[in-house]
């Protein structure tokens, strides 16, 4: 049988796709199922001594106050972080479009934090935010505002960590929106101007709807990022991770502590399954709610 | 019979020479890594049949590596671990019990706190060195403030602390004491103050929390008053992983309570005269108490057959008195052997002395889940300091939480 050229190409494409597919199945999907399996056992280093406990760990999930705290904190991080970084990113991208020169310079500056290692960022910020020596409090005092404890206060620590993460992700967000803005054909704006539209209406009816794909991507990726928040939290308060008083504890950090400081890998796996379900669910909901066809 | 012996003499060393390689893991700490390397050289020279592979990991990643490697059959045969981790590791199957004669050796030759290496009556490791807490003080700052000697009682401690605290417009620029609930201070409250005030933090079998009593309340109230009432310090004065120690080294903190393990770092960093004193007491002649701790070497389930023999031989070598003496010189940690501690040269030493004297009455907290139990006490302190909760209420919550952790482990 002779294949058409198109079919032959498709066949080759499938052959090449099997390699990353196998990789994905083995290194991504298989461990996910393994976690599910692990969550049904009491962990022991020797596989022969792992005791089957069924849904015991899932019952424990329901009555674990630390887990509730971690879950609540994680949601707060997401609710604070995602809208802030998208709003700020969009504003900066729109402003950058108006700048006649030095755009690359600004872009590089905004992008720099994103490529700086999170550990270094956390270290520098913990100094900047110090109540007694920090630059931020220095400025507040100049403005007549009393020094704030930031990372040491159980009420301020979480928004402070969220702010550091927003600051760090901002550059990536700006670059995304700039690319999105570039991709909108100029003719639309010209046509609208001829019809008498200006300023806000141009944004409302052309820019915003046509940025939708970028927005969906940002919301989904941003949400997943905040739901998995770990590095900054660990390093901003290294000796009392997730502290003070669990006010910055996230799900990912809790999983890490359970698994690798307390060696309760079975229960940690159950929390992992919960996090997995949470991410899957929010992603599906977001994709459904946010994606829309644009009619011009 | 003779033939059999000849057979053994001929083949046993040979089989050893050919096959036994054991792996030793510890976390990355320069002086310890260098010391172990040197010890391995000596051990291999004495035991031509055994090869020891030494691997290290950053401290933060150490337990993670152990947790992943041993089930995969890739990890260490002999492993270095904090004594407080042992119960967690034993329960999850990461440590193998040592033979009975090792328990006898530990009982007879090692300082009392080394008993904490036993879990459920079985021995799971042996330390080379032990640590205790003492007061580090900045002699130059003391002299400037007209203070002649380190404080002997807590009353003096507070008076000195207040003299050495400088505050400008709501912000501290220098503090008398480096408050660090998540540093060594949770030990200070739990093991030192509770006992000095006439209580006991735990029942003798380590299964019941007792610090919620009168002495415990006095301990927590007194400690948190250092911040709330006397203002001799503030938590988080210096940011960073060991802010209290860094602040001391920077000359901004006049006194800290730290372990003997900090001697090296302070010696290298401090550009001023400093001294070490035994911890202050409730009153002159009052009850002495201290927190003792240690890192121990244990065997993992991977060490089986000839590997186990070789691993035990290596364990015996790195915990011998000779090694302990070498360890003191090279790493600066106090020997774990009763005999060596009695050496007057050590107890009269200006820096080691206060730590060595404290070892006589130091107790190691019977942790079953060190990470969780540490958090309970740190949170108990922080609820009072950061949220203004009544110490009695905060202590009650802590005792309940910790009792749950103990019950969970021993059920």
**% of chain A with per-residue pLDDT over 90:** 79
Min Cα–Cα distance to chain A from B253, Å: 13
Which pLDDT band holds residue A3 (cuts at 50, 70, 90)? confident
Chain A residues closer than 8 Å to B240 by CB:
123, 126-127, 238
Tokens of A72: 């609540």
What separation, in Å, do the N-terminal and C-terminal C-alpha atoms of chain A show?
47
Query: Of the candidates A43, A154, A261, which has its C-beta nearest B387's C-beta?
Result: A154
- The pLDDT of residue B1 is 46
Q: Which token pair is B42?
A: 């000596």
- So what's the pLDDT on residue A199? 84
Structure-token pair, residue B11:
């083949």
- Per-residue pLDDT reduced to its tens digit, A247-263: 999 999 999 999 999 99
Helix (H) or strand (E) holding A286: helix A265-290
**Segment B232-253 mean pLDDT:** 94
The sign of the torsion formed by the CA atoms of A237, A243, A249, A252 equals positive
The DSSP-derived string for A28-81 is IIHHHHHHHHHTTEE--SSGGGPEE-TTHHHHHHHT-HHHHHHHHHHHHHHHHH
- What confidence tens digit (pLDDT) does each residue in A144-185 have? 998 899 999 999 999 999 999 999 999 999 999 999 999 999
Supply the pLDDT for residue A102: 83
The answer to whether A39 contacts chain B (CB < 8 Å) is no
Nearest-neighbour CA in chain B from A248: distance (Å): 13
Burial of B256 (0-12, 13-18, 19+ CB in 10 A): buried
| A260/B405 Cα distance (integer angstroms) | 17
Q: How far is Cα A69 from Cα A66, in angstroms, rounded to an integer?
A: 5
**Which residues from chain A sit within 8 angstroms of residue B371, using beta carbons?**
257, 261-262
Mean confidence (pLDDT) of chain B: 93
pLDDT at A107 over 90: no
Closest CA–CA distance from residue B90 to any residue of chain A (Å) = 9
**Set of chain B residues whose Cβ sits within 8 Å of the Cβ of A146:** 170
**In angstroms, rounded to a whole number, what is the distance separating the alpha carbons of residues B235 and B227?**
8
Q: Classify A93 as helix, strand or coil.
A: helix
Mean pLDDT of chain A: 92
The predicted structure's pLDDT at residue A161: 96
CB contact under 8 A, A45 and B93: yes
Question: Using one digit for the tens of pLDDT, what is the confidence trace for B54-80?
Answer: 999 999 899 999 999 999 999 999 999
Give the pLDDT confidence score for residue A295 in this predicted structure.
58
Chain A residues within an 8 Å CB radius of B69: none
Give residues with Cβ within 8 angstroms of A270, minimum separation 6.
A39, A57, A58, A60, A61
User: Which residues touch B330 (CB under 8 Å, ≥6 apart)?
Assistant: B31, B34, B35, B38
pLDDT > 60? residue B113: yes
Closest CA to A93 of A105, A103, A80: A103
Q: What is the pLDDT of residues A264-279, one digit of tens each?
A: 999 999 999 999 999 9
Please tell me the distance in Å from A91's CA to the nearest CA on chain B.
33
Residues β-bridged to residue B175: B253
The DSSP-derived string for A186-251 is HHHHHHHHHTT--HHHHIIIIIHHHTHHHHHHHHHHHHHHHHT--HHHHHHTSTTTT-STTTT--H
Bridge partners (DSSP) of residue B55 are: B25
Q: How much is the average pLDDT of B89-100?
A: 96
* Cβ–Cβ gap B169/A239 under 8 Å: no
Q: How many CB atoms lie within 10 A of CB A187?
A: 8
pLDDT value of position B322: 96
The reported pLDDT for the residue numbered A296 is 54
- pLDDT over 70 (residue B109): yes
Q: For position B76, what pLDDT does the model report?
A: 97
Please state whether beta strands B133-138 and B253-259 pair in parallel, antiparallel, or not at all (unpaired): antiparallel
- Express each pLDDT in A111-123 by its tens digit: 999 999 989 999 9
pLDDT category of residue A4 using cuts at 50, 70 and 90: confident
pLDDT surpasses 60 at B365? yes
Residue with more model confidence, B240 or B225: B225
Shortest CA distance from B94: residue in chain A: A45
Distance CA B297, CA B116 (A): 13
Phi, psi of B166, deg, nearest 5:
-120, 125
| Amino acid B14: pLDDT | 46
Interface test with A, best of B74, B92, B406 (most A CBs within 10 A): B92
Per the CB < 8 A criterion, the answer to whether A166 and A91 are in contact is: no
The stretch B354-368 carries a mean pLDDT of 95
The first and second tokens of residue A45, run together, are 């280093």
The confidence score (pLDDT) of residue A1 equals 60
Within an 8 Å CB–CB cutoff, is residue A92 touching chain B?
Answer: no
Q: Please state the pTM of the whole predicted model.
A: 0.91
Would an 8 Å CB–CB cutoff place B191 in contact with chain A?
no
The answer to whether the beta carbons of residues B79 and B25 sit under 8 Å apart is yes
Contacts of A186 (CB under 8 A, 6+ apart): none
Q: Across residues B265-280, what is the average pLDDT?
A: 96
CA distance B359 to chain A (A): 26
Say which residues have a Cβ less than 8 Å from residue B53's Cβ, sequence separation at least 6: B21, B22, B23, B24
pLDDT tens digit sequence for B298-345: 999 999 999 999 999 999 999 999 999 999 989 989 999 999 999 999
> Using an 8 Å Cβ cutoff, are B226 and B179 in contact?
yes
């Amino acid at each position: 049988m002779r294949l058409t050229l198109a079919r032959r190409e498709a066949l080759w494409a499938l052959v090449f796709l099997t390699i990353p597919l196998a990789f994905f199945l083995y290194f991504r999907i298989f461990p996910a199922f393994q976690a599910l399996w692990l969550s049904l056992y009491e962990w022991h280093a020797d596989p022969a001594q792992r005791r089957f406990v069924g849904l015991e760990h899932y019952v424990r999930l329901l009555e674990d106050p630390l887990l509730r705290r971690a879950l609540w904190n994680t949601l707060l991080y997401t609710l604070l972080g995602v809208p802030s970084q998208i709003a700020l990113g969009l504003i900066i991208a729109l402003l950058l479009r108006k700048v006649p020169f030095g755009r690359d310079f600004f872009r590089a500056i905004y992008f720099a934090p994103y490529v700086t290692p999170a550990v270094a960022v956390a270290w520098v910020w913990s100094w900047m935010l110090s109540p007694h020596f920090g630059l931020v409090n220095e400025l507040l005092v100049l403005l007549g505002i009393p020094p704030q404890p930031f990372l040491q206060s159980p009420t301020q620590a979480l928004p402070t960590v969220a702010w550091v993460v927003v600051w760090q992700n901002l550059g990536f967000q700006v670059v995304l929106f700039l690319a999105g803005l570039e991709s909108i054909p100029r003719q639309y704006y010209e046509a609208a101007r001829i019809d008498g539209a200006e300023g806000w209406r141009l944004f409302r009816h052309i820019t915003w709807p046509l940025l939708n794909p970028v927005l969906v991507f940002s919301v989904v990726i941003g949400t997943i990022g905040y739901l998995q928040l770990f590095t900054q939290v660990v390093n901003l308060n290294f000796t009392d991770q997730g502290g003070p008083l669990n006010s910055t504890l996230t799900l990912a950090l809790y999983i890490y502590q359970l698994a690798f400081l307390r060696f309760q890998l079975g229960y940690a796996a159950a929390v992992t399954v919960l996090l997995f379900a949470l991410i899957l669910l929010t992603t599906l909901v977001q994709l459904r709610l946010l994606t829309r066809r644009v009619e011009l | 019979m003779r033939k059999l012996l000849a057979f053994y003499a001929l083949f046993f060393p040979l089989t050893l020479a050919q096959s036994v390689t054991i792996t030793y893991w510890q976390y990355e700490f320069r002086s310890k890594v260098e010391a172990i390397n040197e010890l391995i050289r000596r051990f291999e020279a004495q035991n031509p049949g055994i090869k020891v592979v030494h691997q290290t990991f950053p401290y933060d990643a150490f337990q993670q590596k152990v947790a992943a490697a041993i089930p995969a059959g890739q990890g260490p045969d002999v492993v270095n671990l904090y004594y407080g981790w042992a119960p967690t590791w034993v329960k999850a199957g990461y440590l193998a019990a040592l033979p009975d004669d090792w328990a006898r050796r530990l009982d007879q030759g090692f300082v009392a706190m080394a008993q904490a290496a036993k879990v459920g009556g079985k021995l799971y490791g042996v330390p080379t060195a032990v640590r205790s807490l003492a007061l580090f003080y900045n002699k130059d700052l003391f002299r400037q403030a007209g203070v002649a000697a380190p404080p002997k009682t807590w009353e003096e401690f507070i008076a000195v602390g207040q003299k050495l605290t400088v505050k400008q417009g709501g912000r501290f620029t220098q503090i008398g004491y480096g408050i660090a609930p998540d540093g060594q201070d949770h030990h200070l409250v739990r093991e030192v103050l509770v006992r000095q005030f006439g209580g006991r933090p735990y029942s003798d079998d380590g299964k019941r929390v007792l610090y919620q009593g009168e002495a415990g309340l006095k301990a927590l109230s007194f400690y948190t008053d250092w911040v709330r009432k006397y203002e001799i310090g503030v938590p988080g004065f210096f940011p960073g992983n060991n802010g209290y120690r860094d602040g001391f080294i920077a000359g901004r903190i006049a006194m800290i309570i730290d372990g003997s393990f900090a001697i090296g770092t302070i010696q290298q960093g401090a550009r001023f005269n400093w001294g070490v004193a035994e911890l202050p007491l409730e009153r002159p002649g009052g009850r002495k108490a201290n927190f003792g701790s240690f890192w121990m070497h244990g065997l993992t389930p991977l060490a089986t057959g000839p590997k186990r023999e070789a691993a035990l031989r290596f364990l015996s070598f790195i915990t011998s008195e000779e090694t302990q003496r070498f360890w003191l010189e090279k790493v600066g940690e106090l020997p774990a052997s009763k005999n060596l501690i009695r050496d007057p040269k050590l107890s009269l030493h200006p820096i080691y002395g206060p730590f060595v004297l404290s070892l006589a009455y130091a107790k190691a907290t019977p942790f079953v889940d060190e990470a969780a139990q540490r958090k309970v006490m740190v949170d108990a302190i922080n609820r009072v300091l950061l949220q203004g909760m009544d110490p009695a209420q905060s202590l009650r919550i802590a005792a309940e939480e910790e009792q749950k952790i103990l019950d969970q482990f021993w059920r």
